[in-house]
């Protein structure tokens, strides 16, 4: 459920008309709903009720500082994958012990920053990383709390670019080798074993792959405990999919996911950590855009928007479906016709949708891409020297610009022409 609905014929975010935001901020821009973010966090929390648990929001999905502060105030922990994300989480007020630091390529500098911040868990993905972390921690006179990320060799049955739990993927250590890696870790004075970790992919639309992976994880925990390791936490990663409305995907409900977590790892008596990103932020945001032209091509119509692939890259990168809706509510009996929805960037990849069935939409109209709150603004770029898309947070009847659109002067000022070219 989200809070983007038509009120009196106008698409609103909570109580704010998107048309008012467009008039004040300009388009394209992202609009987030605070009530939806909060609701999604609480749904995750309730899904795990009865188990000791922590929700570490994967802030790669949407790392706007206002979003992070909102979630931090609800008690969220965070899953960070870089020093930049670590700094964001800390600046949002998340205590270090609620932060897990993930990622296949942590540098020594990043490890130092995370240790200094007192992060609660490093998710370590290889033996070389484990040895590097041990060295950095000893150098600082500290012990790094560690979970080894295991690769359970499970097919997540999601898009190949966001599948992570197969043995051919770069992530984690093969689950069969995990006992040896734990034995290695146990002998390192700069490392303290606290748990096990996995993450098998993103936008999963079935429970079965999770269930297979979590069962393997539970067996591993038994084996590790039998070998004398104190496994007090299991980190199950993120990945639960969301409905992209009309794409016919019906992902499992968080409540059913929670029940499955209970039956697979609930009996271990360990603290359960999950790292949802999309589930919290995805349907809490839309990308608001305006139609620049409607153009007739050879046998097809094009809607040319002022938003482009640099603002929302998911359709170009993953063939992702984002529902597109007009901001002015169409009549219930409005005829639908197929149109290609494209941006102004100079490549054919800048296509949001092909032959999409849409009600009449004309030049000048406002439209919104739904389910754009996750992996939208964070993946935006300035390709074609288009200003980085701004972000707006709505709460009730108020809205605030939480990242402003840079000016062209600001964009150009970051670059230098060297003296020899002056
Ligand atoms: N934990 C780890 C270790 C991850 O790598 C990820 C996502 C998550 C948690 C959060 O997954 P989520 O709950 O959001 O599915 N840019 C892609 C998605 C990339 C996901 C990367 N890892 C997209 O737009 O679909």
pLDDT, tens only, 139-184: 999 999 999 999 999 988 888 887 787 777 888 999 999 999 999 9
Is 109 within 8 Å of 156 (Cβ atoms)? no
- pLDDT category at 28 given cuts 50, 70, 90 is very high
Cross-strand partners of 285: 32
Residue 247 has pLDDT above 60, yes or no: no
- pLDDT category at 246 given cuts 50, 70, 90 is low
Measured distance CA(216)–CA(223) in Å, rounded: 11
For residue 166, the model assigns a pLDDT of: 78
Ligand 1 pocket, 276 CB below 6 A? yes
Task: Give 132 Cα–ligand 1 centroid separation in angstroms.
Answer: 25
Going by alpha carbons, the residue nearest to atom 6 of ligand 1 is: 238
For residue 156, the model assigns a pLDDT of: 85
Ligand 1 pocket, 277 CB below 6 A? yes
Residue 1 has pLDDT above 80, yes or no: no
Measured distance CA(331)–CA(337) in Å, rounded: 14
- Chain-centroid distance, C-alpha 2: 17
Tokens representing 101 are 């630091």
- Give mean pLDDT, residues 27-47: 98
DSSP secondary structure code for residue 279 in this structure: H
Measured distance CA(199)–CA(212) in Å, rounded: 12
The torsion angle over the Cα atoms of residues 343, 346, 350 and 356, rounded to 10 degrees, is 60
The torsion angle over the Cα atoms of residues 184, 190, 194 and 200, rounded to 10 degrees, is -60
Percent of the chain residues past pLDDT 90, beyond the cut: 93
For residue 198, the model assigns a pLDDT of: 97
Through-space distance between the first and last CA atoms of the chain, rounded to whole angstroms: 56
Is 307 within 8 Å of 28 (Cβ atoms)? yes
Task: Give 401 Cα–ligand 1 centroid separation in angstroms.
Answer: 26
Measured distance CA(370)–CA(19) in Å, rounded: 15
Give the model confidence (pLDDT) of 273-287 as tens digits: 999 999 999 999 999
Q: Within 10 A of 345 (CB to CB), how many other CB atoms are there?
A: 18
346 is catalytic: yes
For residue 102, the model assigns a pLDDT of: 97
- Give mean pLDDT, residues 345-359: 96
- Which 3 state secondary structure label does DSSP give 225? helix
- Give mean pLDDT, residues 66-82: 98
Higher pLDDT, 422 or 95: 95
Pocket test for ligand 1, best of 278, 311, 369 (most atoms within 8 A of CB): 278
The lowest-confidence range among 49-53, 127-131, 249-253 is 249-253
DSSP secondary structure code for residue 7 in this structure: E
Is 271 within 8 Å of 233 (Cβ atoms)? yes
DSSP secondary structure code for residue 29 in this structure: E
Ligand 1 pocket, 45 CB below 6 A? no
Q: Can you give the pTM of this predicted structure?
A: 0.97
- pLDDT category at 297 given cuts 50, 70, 90 is confident
Give the model confidence (pLDDT) of 192-207 as tens digits: 999 999 999 999 999 9
Ligand 1 pocket, 53 CB below 6 A? no
Ligand 1 pocket, 237 CB below 6 A? yes
For residue 283, the model assigns a pLDDT of: 97
Rg of the Cα atoms in the chain:
23
């Amino acid at each position: 459920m989200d809070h983007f609905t038509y009120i009196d014929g106008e698409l609103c975010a909570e109580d704010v008309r998107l048309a008012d935001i467009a008039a004040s901020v300009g388009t394209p821009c992202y609009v987030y709903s605070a009530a939806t973010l909060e609701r999604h966090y609480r749904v995750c929390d309730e899904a795990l009720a009865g188990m000791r648990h922590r929700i570490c929001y994967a802030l790669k999905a949407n790392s706007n500082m206002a979003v992070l502060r909102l979630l931090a105030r609800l008690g969220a922990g965070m899953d960070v994958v870089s020093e930049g994300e670590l700094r964001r989480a800390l600046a949002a007020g998340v205590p270090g012990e609620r932060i897990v630091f993930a990622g296949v390529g942590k540098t020594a500098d990043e490890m130092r920053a995370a240790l200094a911040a007192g992060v609660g868990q490093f998710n370590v993905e290889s033996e070389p990383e484990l040895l590097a972390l041990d060295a950095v921690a000893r150098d600082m006179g500290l012990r790094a709390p560690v979970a080894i990320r295991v690769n359970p060799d499970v097919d997540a049955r999601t898009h190949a670019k966001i599948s992570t739990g197969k043995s051919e993927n770069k992530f984690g250590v093969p689950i069969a080798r995990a006992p040896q890696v734990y034995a290695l870790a146990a002998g390192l004075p700069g490392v303290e074993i606290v748990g096990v970790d996995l993450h098998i992919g993103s936008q999963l639309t079935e429970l079965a792959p999770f269930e297979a992976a979590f069962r393997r994880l539970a067996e591993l925990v038994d084996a590790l405990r039998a070998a004398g390791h104190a496994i007090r936490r299991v980190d199950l990663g993120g990945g639960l999919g969301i409905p992209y409305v009309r794409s016919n995907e019906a992902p499992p409900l968080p409540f059913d996911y929670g029940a499955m977590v209970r039956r697979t790892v609930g009996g271990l008596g360990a603290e359960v950590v999950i790292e949802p990103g999309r589930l919290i932020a995805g349907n809490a945001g839309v990308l608001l855009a305006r139609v620049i032209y409607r153009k007739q091509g050879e046998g097809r119509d094009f809607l040319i928007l002022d938003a482009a692939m640099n603002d929302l890259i998911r359709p170009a990168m993953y063939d992702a479906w984002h529902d597109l809706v007009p901001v002015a509510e169409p009549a219930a009996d409005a005829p639908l016709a197929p149109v290609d929805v494209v941006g102004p960037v100079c490549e054919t990849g800048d296509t949001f949708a092909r032959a999409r069935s849409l009600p009449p939409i004309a030049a000048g109209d406002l439209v919104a891409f739904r389910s754009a709150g996750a992996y939208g603004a964070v993946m935006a770029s300035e390709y074609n020297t288009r200003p980085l898309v701004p972000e707006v947070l709505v709460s009730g009847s108020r809205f605030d610009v939480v990242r402003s659109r840079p000016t062209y002067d600001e964009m150009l000022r970051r670059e230098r022409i060297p003296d020899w070219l002056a």
